[in-house]
Structure formats: C-alpha cells, structure tokens
C-alpha cells in the first residue's frame, strides 16, 4: 500500500514526536510513514528519539545558521530529497515564512496546547499558553491540531480535544495533563486522517 512520507519538525524534547512514533509502531498510522525528523536545535532530545526509532534526521541549527530563510531553504531541500508529503510541527519553535507554508500548502499541520482561538498567535507557546489560561480563569482548556498557513496559529482546524482545569493547577501540571489527555491523542490521529485524505487526492 502507498503511504504518505511524513517529516516531523521539533526543537526540544520531542514528546509529541514520541506519541507519533509510538502510534506508528502500533499500526495506528497505516496511511503514513515517519520518514524524517528535522530539528533547528542540534542538542534537541527529539533527535535521540528519532535515532532509537531508526528514523533519519536532519539538523538546521539556529546557532549554526542564524538566518531563518537560509534554514528554511535547507529544510525545504531535505524535505524534497526525502519525498515528504506531510510536514508535522511538534514543538517547532521557528515561525515559518509564507514562502515555506505555500511550498507545502495544506500539507503542514501543527499541534497547539489550547483550544484555538483562545491563547494562540504570536508569543503563545509552551508554558506561556498555560500561564495565560490560568490567569484568565478558564475552566476548560485543551489542544488543537490545525493546518499551518502564513498566519500564526491561523490555519483551518483539524481536531480539538478539551481538558478540564483542576483546582490548584500550576502551568506545569496543566501542561502535563494537556499533553497526556489531548496532544498525544489527537496529533497521531490527525497525522493518520490527513495522510489518508492526501492518499485519496493522489489517486
């Protein structure tokens, strides 16, 4: 069976990458093949996770290549070399240019740790999202998987999953629960559903 070749872009620990790798290993992403992991941080633990899963890696390090467009050109080159059909942003800390998003239009997805349109856009990433949710006093938060376009967190929504905020939550405890109860569930599911859709469109 044909599969869509998937690249996962990470900047840090790669917990969302691990959720995708685990789902793929369990046969839950039958329409996709995790073919490449790319990082803009040479010391990202995500690279070790990829190595353990025998997935090729590519590094476009922010320190070694400080110019963002030069990094993007390097990444686009390696995506083409590997025949990548879907790009997954999983904790990738560089905002992509319009030139990059247009090159993979409706073929880039991202996971964001809130229920978009809440707590999203420029400056909302990592713990900052959960700090903002707690400061606002929301009772329900969650995660969103969406297509990526030139607007930060602005592309069409693919999937969302809600998570209750609990009494006494800190940004750290909330972050952990949103990962376990939302991100790690809906991201692999979205990878499969988008790969399946892309396969149908290629027939």
Whether 191 shows a pLDDT value over 90: the answer reads yes
Flag whether pLDDT at 49 surpasses 70: yes
* Chain centroid offset of residue 178 CA: 14
pLDDT for the residue numbered 202: 79
Look up 180 and say whether it is catalytic: no
More confident residue, 79 or 93: 79
Sheet holding 157-164, edge to edge: 57-59, 32-39, 4-10, 86-89, 108-112, 140-147, 157-164
Q: Which of 82, 112, 130, 146 is catalytic?
A: 112
Tens digits of per-residue pLDDT, 54-90?
999 999 999 999 999 999 999 999 999 999 999 999 9
Structural domain boundaries in the chain: 4-202
4-202 topology per CATH: Rossmann fold (3.40.50)
- Please give the mean pLDDT across all residues of the chain: 96
Radius of gyration in angstroms for the set of CA atoms belonging to the chain, rounded to a whole number: 16
Assign 119 a pLDDT band (cuts: 50, 70, 90): very high
39 beta partners:
10, 59
Q: How confident is the model at residue 1 (pLDDT cuts 50, 70, 90)?
A: low
Token code pair at residue 139: 């009772």
């Amino acid at each position: 069976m044909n599969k869509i070749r998937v690249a996962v872009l990470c900047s840090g620990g790669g917990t969302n990458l691990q959720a995708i790798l685990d789902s793929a290993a369990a046969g839950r992403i039958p329409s996709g093949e995790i073919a490449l992991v790319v990082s803009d941080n040479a010391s990202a633990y995500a690279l070790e996770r990829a190595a353990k899963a025998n997935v090729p890696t590519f590094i476009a390090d922010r320190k070694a290549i400080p110019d963002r467009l030069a990094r993007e050109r390097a990444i686009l080159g390696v995506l083409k070399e590997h025949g990548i059909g879907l790009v997954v942003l999983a904790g990738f800390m560089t905002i992509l240019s319009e030139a990059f998003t247009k090159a993979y239009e409706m073929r880039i997805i991202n996971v964001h740790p809130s229920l978009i349109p809440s707590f999203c856009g420029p400056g909302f990433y990592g713990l900052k999202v959960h700090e903002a949710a707690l400061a606002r006093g929301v009772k329900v938060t969650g995660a969103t998987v969406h297509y990526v376009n030139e607007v930060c967190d602005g592309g069409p929504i693919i999937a969302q999953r809600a998570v209750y905020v609990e009494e006494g939550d800190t940004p750290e405890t909330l972050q952990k629960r949103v990962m376990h109860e939302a991100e790690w569930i809906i991201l692999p599911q979205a990878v499969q559903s988008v790969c399946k859709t892309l396969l149908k469109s290629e027939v």
